[in-house]
Chains A and B, each alone.
Chain A
């Protein structure tokens, strides 16, 4: 048996011809209603427009879609509760990409506090940023009767001091979400969060 001389040889860098194992472990879902009146448009900056959005703490929910008490495939307690605080520092770039730095605090039903943060990138289409910032009438995204649903991907990471959920500190998450816009204002977000495994 040939002994590897370096770490690169140990991993066969450049020679691998098969995929690494990829798994997605469903953790929880959350629904957030955004405070439409509290959205702040900070104005035009080099590279784009900045906006701040905040969650309505009374209209959020963290839950398991299957209403399970444990995470199937893991055996750990399922995460359910509410979002106590949430903020989104949104940067609408000149290349029509929406870039967000989002932080949420989850209060679970069993009293734990989990901080979740993630960066978000989404392409809003040609002229999309202008429609979000300036759009009125037919130029805006979505109406009350037909909200516009945008598909977004998130990459959450977690921090908690709760002994019950310490395992989540070592998780890199991936979130599949839908955002609803009404008259070009972000109304609500629903997201499924998975752990990469």
Chain B
């Protein structure tokens, strides 16, 4: 074969190096898509998510986003209908685990969607520290990964990927209510 006519070799990819010897990170991209905000009543470590209009929205009211894989996705404005969850686990109530199941309706057609969130929430003193007295508002950080199920063709892109959320939580010790706000990102 004439070397001058052979196609140029592609640049080595991160995963084409010898096994276990990778010294470059895999390319990563995160694209903001949605914000999810809600209030939950707290009973011990159980969360009862309250209905809320406009709970799922884009911060800047955009209606379409380009995901990291290049596809375009319709962004919903949604209402949370109901939900529940808990902080900690049955075997370790002091752990920072956070699990939530939320049912919502998206867009003008009110398409139903189920959202399962798993992640962590960190307050000073752990979840048990919420009831130990101190200032009225206890703040913390929360991080979640969300999975979704919807039959809507418009929002089918939610079924095909996890979203990753960074969030804040505020617990009102007088009313035993906890407010959450998450920015959700698609990744690739």
- Tell me if B122 and A14 are in contact (CB < 8 A): no
Q: Is A54 interfacial (CB-CB < 8 Å)?
A: no
- Tell me if A11 and B96 are in contact (CB < 8 A): no
Contacts of A178 in B (CB 8 A): 14-15, 26
Q: How far is the CA of A192 from the CA of B27 in the complex (A)?
A: 10
Q: Is B145 interfacial (CB-CB < 8 Å)?
A: yes
Q: Is B155 interfacial (CB-CB < 8 Å)?
A: no
Q: Is B24 interfacial (CB-CB < 8 Å)?
A: yes
Instruction: Bin chain B's interface residue count.
Output: 35 or more
Number of interface residues of A (CB under 8 A): 54
Q: How far is the CA of A171 from the CA of B95 in the complex (A)?
A: 11
Q: Is B46 interfacial (CB-CB < 8 Å)?
A: no
Q: How far is the CA of A4 from the CA of B20 in the complex (A)?
A: 53
Q: Is A95 interfacial (CB-CB < 8 Å)?
A: yes
- Tell me if B19 and A13 are in contact (CB < 8 A): no
- Tell me if B59 and A19 are in contact (CB < 8 A): yes
- Tell me if B22 and A65 are in contact (CB < 8 A): yes
A138-197 interface (Cβ within 8 A of B): 149, 151, 153, 155, 157, 169-172, 174, 176-178, 180, 188, 190-192, 194, 196-197
Q: Is A107 interfacial (CB-CB < 8 Å)?
A: no
- Tell me if A188 and B19 are in contact (CB < 8 A): yes
Contacts of A13 in B (CB 8 A): 37-39, 52, 179, 181
Mark A residues whose CB is within 8 Å of B: 4, 6-8, 10-11, 13-14, 16-22, 24, 26, 29, 31, 33, 59, 61, 63, 65-67, 95, 97, 119-123, 149, 151, 153, 155, 157, 169-172, 174, 176-178, 180, 188, 190-192, 194, 196-197
What are 5 A-to-B residue pairs whose CB atoms are below 8 Å? A14-B37, A24-B30, A63-B20, A149-B15, A153-B161
Mark B residues whose CB is within 8 Å of A: 13-15, 19-20, 22-28, 30, 32, 35, 37-39, 52, 54, 57, 59-60, 69, 95-97, 118-120, 122, 137, 139, 143-145, 147, 159-162, 164, 166-168, 170-172, 175, 177-183, 185, 187-188
